Structure 1
Amino acid sequence: MPEAARPPARPTRGTIIPTPFRRPRARTATLLSTTTILGLLLTGTGVTAATAADAPASSTTAPAIAPFDQAVLDAPYPSNSTYDFVPMLDSFTALKADRPDIMKLNDKKTITINQAATKAQSARAIVDQYADMSITMSDGLGKDLGEIYRTAREAGQLPKTDALLAKNGGLVGKYSSTNPVKTYFDNPRPYVAFPLKLKYRDKPNGNAWAGRDGSYPSGHTSQASWQGTALATMLPELAPQILARASDAGNNRIIMGAHYPLDVMAGRMMGQKIVERRWSDPSFRTLFEQASTELRTVLEAKCGAALAVCIAKDKPYLPTAQALKVYEQRMSYGFPLVGNEGEPMTVPTGAESLLISSHPDLTPEQRRQVLALTAIDSGEPLDAGTEGSWQRIDLPAAMSAKVVVTADGTVSLVKPGKR
């Protein structure tokens, strides 16, 4: 993806929303360990196995789908413009200068996750290293739907979806690169800083440790995040599972010894900002809507039933509650707080657009309230950005939330995973 020069001015900070129903920060001790979660993601522990009789009947013929016209792909969308991602990630500068304890813990967590990975987890991390993650994360859709999606993508039967999500040239992230941001922060990768403390894993003749660019933020994680977030907005019914799988791709960068947890957290934030810019652009939003229609049409035709029926009969990547827990833990990786708890949530400007497909009947302000009510608590290491707190946004919780709106139009209650 092309590099872009930083613009002279920083964007406007998001609005501050009091959050009387703010969710408390989930402490690592009350959740599963990183190693256990990785095992769950790979083995499906706790997922009820689907029988052959439960599997939806599939069609061998995909419906005829037309790609986007070239003029649509080449159009000068406002969201193609250069964007400076440094301000939203600049908490890292203060951490490096003032919090050696956090930086040392960042190293320690990297070594622990890298050393603890199993052979199966390592193999999966290697796949994500080189492949198009918008395809490898197909398992996030479920056993049957994931296979349908992967086969259709590889067969060229989802041209609109491919045009938006593909690793090479996918329009959602085409004009957004981590390279300028990496250069700005200039932090050495783990395999450069302490290679002897890490396990090297790679494919034959691979180059997993060849790069000498900066580690912060993680480029692979940013890409997995924008690919996964975009896919989740196209299939909001499966948002918790898809986004948990995207977080798995980010965690794989630590397994590879290529990145630290703080890199992965920042990459997730940047990836979601990339998708927000696209959804906040009305002219580009229509491309998401058309690709979503294409994707749903193909999934239903191949599955042989309505999408809701196919999802209900499928074996999920993870149960919704477990997917939400996995994702939430990786929002902070168990770092100690560096700021005050209980601060009002500053919802970044435009972030509400990420809930358009999951909550189409809410107003923009109500969507912002949902983001505030599902956010994790304040004080996290990357919380103190100048554009609102992207670290605190728990997107799968917000997208899957059952929302209660009072008579005066305010959101009074949200129940993640109950939509």
Structure 2
Amino acid sequence: MHLLPARPLVLALSIAVALSACGGSNSDAPLVIPAAPADQGAPETVAVPSATAFVDTIASNQRGDARYATLATNAGVRVLGGFLSIWKPLTELVDAGQSAPAVDGFPAVTASKWTGVPGDGSPDGTVLNAAVHQANIDYVVKATANRTPEQAQQAYLDDRRGKGYSVSDGMGPLTAAYRAAAQQTTTITSVAADATTVLYNDGGNNTGVGGSANASFGAVVDLVNLVGNNASTEPAKRFYKYARPYRWSSSVAVLPALVPAKSSTPATDGGYTSGHTAEAVRDAIAMAYAVPERYQEMLSRGLELGESRILAGMHSPLDVVSGRMLGTASAAANLADPANAAKKTAAVSQAHSALMAATGTTAGTFAAYAQSGTVANDRFADYAANKANYLRRSTFGFAPIAATNAAAVVPKGAEVLLETRQPYLSDAQRRVVLKTTALASGYPVMDDAEGWGRLNLFAAADGYAAFSGNVTIVMDASKGGFHAVDRWRNDISGAGKLVKQGTGTLKLAGANSWSGGTEITAGTVQGDSVAALGAGDVYNSGGTLVANAPAALKLAGKYTQLSGSTTLELDLGGAAAGAPGSLNVAGTATIAGGTLRIKFANGYKPKAGEVLNVITAGSLKGKFNTITVDGFSTVTPNYGATTLTLTLG
């Protein structure tokens, strides 16, 4: 349990008298300081599921095991087992006389033949949920009938190019530097005029040049390659025997330029799961791990490539959803492998040193440069669009087929996926983030026992979505990067308490409602939205609270600022009460000292003689020791019973 030091309830009268000299008057009585928000107990923890862990058994997912893989013997088959409520495949044992025991209700069989052609008289399985199966194929029919020329071109490039090369454009402003450093190449740069009759294969090197042959970036390339270890989709394709969508329906319009890429051997060409998607997702995760400043954009690019498979007519939504799951699990298993610890560290270090050198940035400017693209030159510059697309591509609009309120579970080892994006959190805290941001239950395929299907890594990159117990965040600004500054954009609920420690800055930008309060013991908490601080009290005992909201930062409870090294910073965008950057406290604002600093934002530049309405409260008590206003040497405060205004000299 997190214990907080005892605090005095009554400030000495001599200090209260000294404060009265700061100008104005709201009370000459001794100041009674409220207690800090109550301790909410031990932080939440998320247990590892009892199911057999993919990260422990990934080595069982061997391509050579494709003919005989089962749920019991193969991790890649097992993690996608939710499909068995939609489709029941035959068990294939090609060698005559071979047999297999029953698994999950499947009877022992011998020498059944996978044809890969639905309805040819030798069915490869049985549809168990006709509604979901039909929706799965109908989705592709509609998508291919309505694809735009831009989508068609992207689908072709994503099919024929190396997946590592394709997804690296998720780096946005860093793309050229990344590709140059990785020495990535491709020979597929456009759709050739004769592509409808000629099959073009990529003669490039996909992920680039790794190892010692690329002294400045080889470790990054090696990281992208290693997440593909034991990650084959072939065993799952052979086990599930689910045909590609164009074999289910002649109404699926395969992209004409990809007709030459259609396999002539259906029995070796299953649709479930999508290999392109799995590879793209795991490559994108590896790149996001190495360059977390582009984390959400890289994840978005991975899922975009998955959707390209549907738009091409080559895969169904469930093929793609399962590819996301297997790709994510494979990346996590390889990143979590202790044998790869040094390789991860080297990759992150090389990625930053090489890309900073290539872009002329420093540790202090690199993150801003990585996010400096616009919609004109970075397809992933629009955060809101990325978020909406990520959610859409996670479920593709399927209706739930089971309860939607089942508690989320978090796979063993999945916390490694946030290791560089939220380096200031512990593994236990990252598991809570993954749980609180998980997708709803009930969607087809996605309710696997470990929780891979419900992970929402895009949302997880935006921090917690709920607080339970004391959530203590320790950020060390001296380490740079996200240790120094991070922003959480989720809407945070729950009854827990946020305790901010360390020298770094945590920015909160959601419509938050957690009720246990906030205590700032060190460093900075910045409110970038009106309801950034939730529904509880805010207690500043040793750090800085910054109001940077588009309207007044609203505190639903009390605000208390102790004396000493405490600061309230208001980034004002106007003079009126309720203006952007001002503070609105529903309860009592108790100011026992510290500093009030006024900065100006959004082009607002007041003139001498103007009166700034900076704080409105249900009741205002006490005074600041120091008040500074950028650009003005003379400031006269007027403390009222419920307001503080400043007259600029």
Settle same-fold status: TM greater than 0.5.
Answer: yes
TM-score (normalised: structure 2): 0.49
Q: 2:84 aligns with which of 76, 93, 96?
A: 93
- Whether the 8 Å contact between 2:277 and 2:323 is mirrored in structure 1 is yes
Task: Establish whether residue 131 from structure 1 lines up as the match of residue 161 from structure 2.
Answer: yes
CA 1:288–1:174: 2 relative to 1, 3 Å? same
Paired with 1:296 and 1:276, the residues of 2 have a C-alpha distance of 21
Partner of 1:322: 385
Partner of 2:332: 276
CA 1:312–1:86: 2 relative to 1, 3 Å? closer
Return the offset for 1:164: 3.0
Q: Secondary structure at the match of 2:226?
A: coil
Task: Establish whether residue 308 from structure 1 lines up as the match of residue 367 from structure 2.
Answer: yes
Partner of 1:82: 60
Matches within 5 A, 1:1-400: 12-13=50-51, 81-83=59-61, 84-96=75-87, 97-142=127-172, 144-154=173-183, 156=209, 158-165=217-224, 170-202=225-257, 206-210=260-264, 212=266, 213-306=269-362, 307-315=366-374, 316=378, 317-386=380-449, 388-400=450-462
Return the offset for 1:355: 1.2
CA deviation profile, 1:389-408 (whole Å, cap 9, x unmatched): 22211012112326887773
Paired with 2:350 and 2:265, the residues of 1 have a C-alpha distance of 37
CA 1:185–1:410: 2 relative to 1, 3 Å? farther
CA deviation profile, 1:169-221 (whole Å, cap 9, x unmatched): x2220322000111000001112222453243326x94245462111010110
Paired with 1:287 and 1:172, the residues of 2 have a C-alpha distance of 11
Asked which structure has the greater RCO (Cα within 8 Å, sep 6+), the reply is: 1
Question: For residue 51 of structure 2, what is the amino acid of its counterpart?
Answer: R
- Whether the 8 Å contact between 1:340 and 1:378 is mirrored in structure 2 is yes
Question: For residue 85 of structure 2, what is the amino acid of its counterpart?
Answer: A
- Whether the 8 Å contact between 1:13 and 1:349 is mirrored in structure 2 is no
CA 1:404–1:392: 2 relative to 1, 3 Å? closer
CA deviation profile, 1:88-130 (whole Å, cap 9, x unmatched): 2111111124311000000000111122211221111111112
- Whether the 8 Å contact between 1:218 and 1:264 is mirrored in structure 2 is yes
- Whether the 8 Å contact between 1:226 and 1:274 is mirrored in structure 2 is yes
CA deviation profile, 1:218-250 (whole Å, cap 9, x unmatched): 011000011011111112221111111111110
Q: Secondary structure at the match of 2:453?
A: coil
Partner of 1:415: 489
Partner of 1:31: none
CA deviation profile, 1:130-151 (whole Å, cap 9, x unmatched): 2122222222111x31122123
- Whether the 8 Å contact between 2:227 and 2:334 is mirrored in structure 1 is yes
Return the offset for 1:323: 1.1
- Whether the 8 Å contact between 1:12 and 1:349 is mirrored in structure 2 is no
Unaligned runs of 5+ in 1: 1-10, 16-76
| % same residue | 27
Partner of 1:25: none
Paired with 1:229 and 1:292, the residues of 2 have a C-alpha distance of 13
Paired with 1:283 and 1:346, the residues of 2 have a C-alpha distance of 26
Paired with 1:227 and 1:353, the residues of 2 have a C-alpha distance of 15
- Whether the 8 Å contact between 2:231 and 2:327 is mirrored in structure 1 is no
Return the offset for 1:338: 0.5
Paired with 2:265 and 2:422, the residues of 1 have a C-alpha distance of 41
Question: For residue 257 of structure 2, what is the amino acid of its counterpart?
Answer: D
Question: For residue 277 of structure 1, what is the amino acid of its counterpart?
Answer: A
- Whether the 8 Å contact between 1:122 and 1:255 is mirrored in structure 2 is yes
CA 1:311–1:215: 2 relative to 1, 3 Å? same
Unaligned runs of 5+ in 2: 1-48, 62-74, 88-126, 185-208, 474-486, 492-506, 509-649
Aligned-pair Cα RMSD in Å: 2.8
- Structure with more strand by fraction: 2
Q: Secondary structure at the match of 1:334?
A: coil
Mean Cα deviation higher: 114-123 or 154-163: 154-163
Paired with 2:165 and 2:428, the residues of 1 have a C-alpha distance of 34
Partner of 2:120: none
Paired with 2:465 and 2:404, the residues of 1 have a C-alpha distance of 25
- Give the total of aligned pairs: 340
CA deviation profile, 1:301-340 (whole Å, cap 9, x unmatched): 1111132131243334232232122111111001000110
Return the offset for 1:295: 1.6
Return the offset for 1:368: 1.0
- Structure with more helix by fraction: 1
